[in-house]
Amino acid sequence: MMAKLALITGATSGIGKATAQVFAANGIDLIICGRRVERLEALKNELADKVNIHALQFDVRNTCEVANAIGSLPATFQNIAILVNNAGNAIGLSPIQEGEIADWDYMIDTNVKGLLYVSKAVIAGMVERKTGHIVNISSIAGKEVYANGNVYCASKHAVDAITKGMRIDLYKHGIKVTSINPGMVETEFSMVRFKGDEKSAAKVYEGVTPLTAQDIADAILYSVSRPSHVQIADLTILASAQGSASEVFRNV
């Protein structure tokens, strides 16, 4: 694959980390972003012998941190060809009347506003160069609403709408925009959602073979490696035991 430069948010775990590893294996230089410095450095050290790699530590929810971090990139890491907006979270699984405002703020600030902040900082260069590819990691929750998913589903529906809007606004500048919508993927996602309750988190995958972060990373690589005339607009990926966001066959 021709050498390109990709910026990946949420690169310290799960889909983001797997995507960095898959990209590196295919010769794509990397800017890995996240909040956890130790994990960023470990990933950087792991991949440094394969590609050129730079680490940025910031919180996508903080517009000043985003602008300052991306603005600090050395010249050799400024021509970003691929942006993977992966940073996101789901916190809490309560009916709307019992939801916690802090959880709502966290999801909206990360999943929606954080995506916008990072995109704003990167898109200008893509427009100037008349080329680029933005991959937004959404969710089956951006296509369907399920019980107790309320605000998380709303945030991912927003990502779906923003992605469509990006595509309409940016295609004339030579920029592709892809939405990747995973179903059940086994990552740290459930631990975060259940606020560290290991027993509840484990039940999510009970009797099911879920998708892996590698599965989604492979789909992202496929999307960004198509010929110039091909744009993968929207890709939903489910585990074979999953019929919809809430219908799962469990072999128990």
Domain with 126 in it? 5-237
* Domain contains 24: yes
Residue 197 has a pLDDT of 67
Phi, psi of 218 (to 5 degrees): -60, -40
* Domain contains 249: no
Phi, psi of 219 (to 5 degrees): -70, -35
The structure tokens 């990167």 sit at 122
d(CA 246, CA 252): 17
Q: Are 144 and 197 in contact (CB under 8 A)?
A: no
Q: Are 148 and 93 in contact (CB under 8 A)?
A: yes
Is 117 a catalytic site residue? Answer: no
* Domain contains 227: yes
Residue 107 has a pLDDT of 97
Q: Count how many Cα atoms sit within 13 Å of the Cα of residue 84 in the half-sphere of its side chain.
A: 30
- Nearby residues of 52 by Cβ (< 8 Å), 6 or more positions away: 5, 29, 30, 76, 77
For the chain, percent helix, then strand, then coil, each to nearest 5?
A: 45, 15, 35
CATH number at residue 44: 3.40.50.720
* Domain contains 245: no
Residue 1 has a pLDDT of 46
Residue 178 has a pLDDT of 98
Residue 233: CB atoms within 10 Å: 12
* Domain contains 67: yes
Q: Which residues pair with 147 in a beta bridge?
A: none
Mind listing the pLDDT tens digit of every residue in the chain (252 residues)? Answer: 456 999 999 999 999 999 999 999 999 999 999 999 999 999 999 999 999 999 999 999 999 999 999 999 999 999 999 999 999 999 999 999 999 999 999 999 999 999 999 999 999 999 999 999 999 999 999 999 999 999 999 999 999 999 999 999 999 999 999 999 999 998 877 777 777 767 776 778 888 999 999 999 999 999 999 999 999 999 999 999 999 998 999 887
Provide the number of structural domains found in the chain: 1
CA-based end-to-end distance of the chain: 43
Residue 202 has a pLDDT of 73
Residue 203 has a pLDDT of 79
* Domain contains 37: yes
d(CA 240, CA 238): 6
- Which tokens is 112 given? 């929606």
* Domain contains 252: no
Q: Which of 152, 171, 205, 222 is catalytic?
A: 152
* Domain contains 225: yes
Which helix (H) or strand (E) is 5 found in, with range?
strand 5-8
